Structure 1
């Protein structure tokens, strides 16, 4: 039923002309309130997801700082 609320409210918001980003946020809030979750839970999970994404990109940043380590010598 939660998925129905999420997709239904998203579709409704799109049909009345709401921009996609606001429709995603509004549909998410509607589903959160339907499930009786505190909205803080969504924010906490959002922050945790960003922290994981930053940790995943860390090795790539280290290679970028030392470009000679990422490429073989060209002579």
Structure 2
């Protein structure tokens, strides 16, 4: 199933362990602030060892953007 989502839906899928692969597109831009710009939402303080772990299975440069395919470890 392909799900195109913002932080709320991404959070629900991550917390339910429904995600086995991410395809992410990065542009060379930084956006700061709060609200709807975070990748996913959590009320838990996550330590690095407790974070969701993924491995890069493919990367591709698309003009000035980067496409990453990540698979859950």
TM-score computed with the length of structure 2 as normaliser: 0.21
**Larger fraction in helix:** 1
**Larger fraction in strand:** 2
Q: Bigger radius of gyration, 1 or 2?
A: 1
TM-score computed with the length of structure 1 as normaliser: 0.21
